[in-house]
């Protein structure tokens, strides 16, 4: 039986990945900051699907938290076959309205943690000749809009570059770029969502299912909905300064968690 490790597993897209992978018979390593919530999630998935669900409490904004997950990914005796880097957050406010400490924390979670965890997982996977990594980015990666969009653009470029470098080693890497997904993300960041049209919202379970199907097809980039594929295609025709102005009207956070 294969094992998947999911960061930010207790809510939103991370929880959707956990439900889908457990239903498909995969054992899980669930990673988040809230131990009680992790244990509740692990018990529910075990009871419902009969899989083993390991709990790993870690804050990826902290070196000790990243190191704990790195050690688990590097464990050759209990290998992880699929890594889903989903942990992330957003800020309310434009550039210079957000404290520098918060901006740096975002880069720690979205970039440094993704780099370190992907590297720890891929090194072990390459030795075995198999494995997969899904790095959750966002459609914000394609929009000029502050640190969040910049960090997600880095995730996309890093993932696709690493996928190319590892071609032929049996390891698949994919950046997942959904649009707005109904999760706890916007509420946690204190962002209103009343100005977002209903048709732009995606279902987290469908996003996870599409992502896993795209990974199996060998894609290095997944935009999991035809509507957003059209929007991302159209965005290439819109001047960058205009696109940035449009994105500001929907808040600093343009994509989901």
Mean pLDDT score, 26-47: 98
Q: What is the mean pLDDT of the chain?
A: 87
According to the model, what pLDDT value does residue 101 have? 97
According to the model, what pLDDT value does residue 235 have? 58
**Residue 148 annotated among the catalytic residues of the structure:** yes
pTM of the model: 0.87
Q: pLDDT band for 143, please (50, 70, 90 cuts).
A: confident
pLDDT digits (tens, 9 = 90+) for 88-139: 998 888 889 999 999 999 999 999 999 999 999 999 999 999 999 999 999 9
Residues 175 and 135 sit within 8 Å (Cβ to Cβ): yes
According to the model, what pLDDT value does residue 25 have? 98
Q: With 80 as the cut, is the pLDDT of residue 45 above it?
A: yes
The rounded distance, in Å, linking the Cα atoms of 173 and 32 is 22
Q: Among 4-8, 72-76, 104-108, 139-143, which stretch is predicted with the lowest mean pLDDT?
A: 139-143
- Both tokens of 9, joined, read 């597993």
Three-state secondary structure call for residue 32: strand
Q: Within 13 A of 190's CA, how many CA atoms are on the CB side?
A: 4
Q: With 70 as the cut, is the pLDDT of residue 234 above it?
A: no
Q: With 90 as the cut, is the pLDDT of residue 155 above it?
A: yes
Domain ranges of the chain: 3-248
Query: How would CATH label the architecture of 3-248?
Result: 3-Layer(aba) Sandwich (3.40)
According to the model, what pLDDT value does residue 190 have? 46
Choosing from 95, 148, 228, 254, which is the catalytic residue?
148
Return phi, psi of residue 153, to 5°. -65, -40
Residues 172 and 135 sit within 8 Å (Cβ to Cβ): no
Q: pLDDT band for 57, please (50, 70, 90 cuts).
A: very high
Helices of type H across 108-256: 113-128, 146-165, 185-188, 204-216, 226-235, 240-248
According to the model, what pLDDT value does residue 193 have? 54
């Amino acid at each position: 039986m294969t094992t998947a490790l999911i960061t930010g597993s207790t809510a939103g897209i991370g929880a959707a990945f956990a439900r889908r992978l457990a239903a498909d018979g995969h054992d899980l390593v669930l990673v988040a900051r809230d131990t009680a919530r992790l244990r509740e999630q692990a018990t529910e998935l075990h009871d419902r699907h009969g899989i083993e669900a390991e709990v790993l409490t870690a804050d990826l904004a902290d070196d000790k938290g990243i190191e704990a997950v790195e050690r688990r990914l590097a464990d050759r005796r209990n290998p992880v076959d699929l890594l889903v880097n989903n942990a992330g957050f957003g800020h309310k406010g434009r550039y210079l309205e957000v404290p520098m400490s918060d901006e740096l924390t975002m880069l720690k979670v979205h970039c440094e943690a993704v780099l370190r965890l992907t590297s720890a997982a891929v090194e072990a996977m390459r030795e075995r000749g198999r494995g997969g990594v899904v790095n959750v980015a966002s459609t914000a990666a394609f929009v000029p809009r502050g640190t969040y969009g910049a960090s997600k653009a880095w995730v996309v470029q890093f993932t696709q570059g690493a996928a190319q470098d590892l071609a032929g080693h049996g390891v698949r890497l994919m950046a997942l770029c959904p649009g707005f997904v109904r999760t706890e993300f916007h509420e946690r960041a204190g962002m209103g969502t009343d100005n977002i049209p209903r048709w732009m919202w995606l279902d987290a379970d469908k996003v996870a299912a599409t992502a896993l199907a795209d990974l199996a097809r060998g894609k290095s980039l997944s935009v999991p909905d035809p509507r957003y594929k059209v929007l991302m295609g159209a965005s290439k025709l819109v001047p960058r300064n205009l696109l940035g102005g449009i994105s500001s009207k929907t808040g600093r956070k343009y994509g989901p968690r």
